Amino acid sequence: MNRFLVAVATAAAVVAAAAAPARAAVVPGAATATFTKQSAWATGYTGQYTIDNGTPAPLTWRLEFDLPGGTTIANAWGATITHSGNHYVALGESWNAVVAPGGSATFGWLAQGTGGPLTCSLNGASCAGAADIRPPSTPGHLRTSIGTNTFTLRWDASGDDTGVKGYEVYNGAGLVATVTGTEYTMPTPPPAIITYRVRALDAAGNASPFAVITPGGPADTVAPGMPPVVYPGMTVIRWTAATDDVAVAGYDVYVNGDHYGATSNLSLTVPPLGFGEFTYKIVAFDGAGNRSEPRSLSVAIDPGPTSDSSRPTIPGDLRVSVSATQVTWSWTASADNVGVAGYQLFHGPDWIGDTTATTFAEPRAAGQTVFGIRVRAFDAIGNKSAFATLTVVLDPPPPVP
């Protein structure tokens, strides 16, 4: 594995226009949507989505995406676009709303601000044409307020690669409401110590870990027990429920040290793992951050004498462009004896998604100065290359006078 450390004197020295993502190949049997920046300048850009219908049936499309704060759509063409805050919904016009099998449609916009889409879903599924398997993030800052005869739970919105569909609110062990917003008001409960839990769901049914709060309760210092049993799988990993003195908030799932996600469900779908030796590890955690000992299980999968056992080559020339709001990673394509199917992307140990392109764009958090990503190629049966790894460190911006 190659590791590069780049240190620069000022952020301005490496600020560059984000490279336009290469158009992803159409996944057979799937519909995909690919975004490109056609032109960009200091205060805005023009961008376009291309929707490809790889299915055998006509596609009536609905595309949803989020733009970062500070970026808005000033004008659009080829679609009717509505929004609520930074979440946008695009519907086709009469002449491009239905895409024939094997066909494509486009729409675009003029942006004020430089940030590209952060998430994208096409008819509720991933715009990459793959099944949506990533759970949303945990609802943030769960808190309470008391009104006249009312009790309100509020939380910060979860993030998701295709968009959050709604939130489930639990009172003790029971589900009391499903809402699309970030608050829930109920009649004032009787005096008692009650644990409330809130989790986010996406359209595919993936569930975030729970945010947990126990108003008036003592500090939670007891870790959950280990999940009793792990059932390994090459695409779905399952386990049995752990127990906790207050409430289990969720489970972290690792395969060979790679973190594939956190969920409050008792299963997680992961990308195909291919062949080799694998160690599965499940860790339960509660709302206070206490973590169980890991429940681990190791298995070996033999490819057999006639299977493709050759790994792709490592992605080459991993590099980065950084703007005020976006970080774009690029690399040169890997090679494989049969064919490269795509690339897995990681932040440190955390899997953040796959792509068939040789670029990846992500939002830059305010004040963020350290950027790191690992990229590895995989083929159709799951053989994986070694990682290409790059870390970029920028000096922090000067303080505001």
Given pLDDT bands bounded at 50, 70 and 90, which one contains residue 308? confident
> How many CB atoms neighbour CB 80 within 10 A?
12
Within this chain, do residues 92 and 115 fall inside the same structural domain, yes or no? yes
Q: Which ranges in 87-233 belong to alpha helices (H)?
A: none
pLDDT of 400: 61
Backbone angles phi, psi at 14, to 5 degrees: -120, 5
The last residue of a domain, from among 166, 182, 208 = 208
pLDDT of 306: 60
In this structure, what CATH number is given to the domain that contains residue 90? 2.60.40.290
CB 153 within 8 A of CB 196: yes
Given pLDDT bands bounded at 50, 70 and 90, which one contains residue 279? very high
Given pLDDT bands bounded at 50, 70 and 90, which one contains residue 4? very low
Q: What is the domain extent for residue 364?
A: 2-16+310-393
Q: Is residue 85 part of a domain?
A: yes
Q: Is residue 318 part of a domain?
A: yes
Within this chain, do residues 6 and 50 fall inside the same structural domain, yes or no? no
What percent of the chain clears pLDDT 90, i.e. is strictly above it?
Answer: 53
Q: Is residue 250 part of a domain?
A: no
pLDDT of 218: 92
Q: Is residue 285 part of a domain?
A: no
Is the pLDDT reported for residue 381 higher than 80?
no
Within this chain, do residues 140 and 122 fall inside the same structural domain, yes or no? no
Within this chain, do residues 35 and 122 fall inside the same structural domain, yes or no? yes
Over residues 364-379, the pLDDT tens digits come to 877 888 888 899 998 8
Q: Is residue 379 part of a domain?
A: yes
Q: Is residue 193 part of a domain?
A: yes
Q: How many domains does the chain have?
A: 3
pLDDT of 394: 80
d(CA 375, CA 139): 28
- For residues 97-123, give the mean pLDDT: 90
Within this chain, do residues 108 and 37 fall inside the same structural domain, yes or no? yes
Q: Which amino acid is at 121?
A: S
d(CA 303, CA 326): 40
What three-state secondary structure class fits 151? Answer: strand
- Of 316, 377, 381, nearest to 345 by C-alpha is 377
pLDDT of 26: 36
This prediction's pTM: 0.74
Within this chain, do residues 105 and 164 fall inside the same structural domain, yes or no? no
In this structure, what CATH number is given to the domain that contains residue 152? 2.60.40.10
Within this chain, do residues 171 and 112 fall inside the same structural domain, yes or no? no
pLDDT of 92: 94
CB 335 within 8 A of CB 343: no
Q: Is residue 75 part of a domain?
A: yes
The last residue of a domain, from among 208, 231, 254 = 208
Backbone angles phi, psi at 12, to 5 degrees: -60, -25
Tokens of 55: 């299915």
Q: Is residue 229 part of a domain?
A: no
Beta bridge partners of 111: 45, 73
Within this chain, do residues 385 and 330 fall inside the same structural domain, yes or no? yes
Within this chain, do residues 97 and 140 fall inside the same structural domain, yes or no? no
Within this chain, do residues 347 and 385 fall inside the same structural domain, yes or no? yes
Q: What average pLDDT is seen over the chain?
A: 86
Within this chain, do residues 379 and 315 fall inside the same structural domain, yes or no? yes
Tokens of 323: 């703007």
Within this chain, do residues 151 and 80 fall inside the same structural domain, yes or no? no
The last residue of a domain, from among 176, 208, 240 = 208
